[in-house]
């Protein structure tokens, strides 16, 4: 297989890169990736990325945590060994429910928060000792990089990117 080529266009301002993304999209080119040193408001919308579903997963993780807390308190305090501890009514779960609310709340938050973070790591493919996928170290400091795949249209793309205010344009091989 021949190695595919991509164009790396560098910008040094978030407003300029946002406008560049809009004009590249308007010209009908696919943008593979944009590397930024910080979040740029509206970039996902300009690139046409779908909204995240992370909040929805968190909701279900929270319900899971709540269920675990209800099951745990009911099993331990009511079913397994219903002792009289300081006169608390342990005849049924509902009667003693107010005492279980703090742990129900905390486990809901715990499950929702931690499982959502782990989901985020897995979906974003982030873990310790992972090799950084950074095409240019300057994009972590003060440069923005737009990566566009090339299909025998290097001249046309270069002309377009130059018009959008790119400070540097490189054609590189991508494996």
For another protein, give the closer residue by CB, 15 or 27: 15
Residue 150, Ramachandran bin (φ over 0: left; ψ between -120 and 50: alpha; else beta): beta
Q: Within positions 7 to 36, which residues make up the interface with another protein, using CB under 8 A?
A: 15, 18
Task: Please state the closest distance from residue 127 (CB atom) to another protein, in A.
Answer: 28
Nearest residue to 175 (alpha-carbon basis) of 33, 14, 5: 5
Q: Which pair of structure tokens corresponds to residue 32?
A: 């593979």
Give the nearer residue to another protein in terms of CB position, either 45 or 174.
Answer: 45
State yes or no: residue 112 binds another protein (CB under 8 A).
no
Span near another protein by CB under 8 A; candidates 39-47, 128-136, 147-155, 162-170: 39-47
The contact pattern for another protein, residues 127-146, with x = CB under 8 A and - = no contact, is --------------------
* List of residues 6+ apart from 64 with CB closer than 8 A: 111, 115
Dihedral sign for Cα atoms in the order 8, 12, 13, 14: positive
Task: Give the nearer residue to another protein in terms of CB position, either 95 or 156.
Answer: 95
Judged by CB under 8 A, the residue of 55, 63, 117, 171 near another protein is 55
Q: Which of 108, 78, 82 is nearest to 93 (CA)?
A: 78
Is 41 a binder of another protein (CB under 8 A)?
yes
Range in contact with another protein (rule: CB under 8 A) among 1-9, 94-102, 112-120, 163-171: 94-102
Q: If we measure between CA atoms, which residue out of 79, 73, 82 comes closest to residue 100?
A: 73
């Amino acid at each position: 297989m021949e190695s595919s080529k991509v164009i790396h266009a560098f910008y040094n301002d978030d407003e300029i890169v946002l406008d560049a993304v809009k004009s590249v999209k308007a010209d009908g080119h696919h943008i593979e990736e944009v590397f930024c040193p910080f979040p740029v408001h509206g970039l996902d919308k300009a690139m046409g990325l779908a909204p995240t579903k992370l909040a929805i997963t968190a909701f279900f993780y929270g319900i899971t945590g709540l269920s675990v807390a209800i099951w745990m308190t009911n099993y331990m305090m009511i079913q397994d060994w219903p002792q009289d501890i300081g006169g608390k009514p342990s005849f049924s779960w509902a009667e003693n429910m107010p005492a279980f609310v703090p742990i129900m709340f905390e486990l809901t938050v715990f499950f929702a928060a931690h499982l959502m973070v782990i989901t985020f790591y897995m979906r974003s493919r982030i873990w310790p000792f992972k090799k950084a996928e950074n095409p240019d170290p300057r994009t972590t400091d003060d440069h923005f990089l737009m990566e566009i795949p090339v299909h025998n249209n290097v001249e046309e793309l270069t002309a377009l990117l130059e018009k959008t205010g790119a400070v540097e344009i490189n054609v590189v091989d991508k494996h």
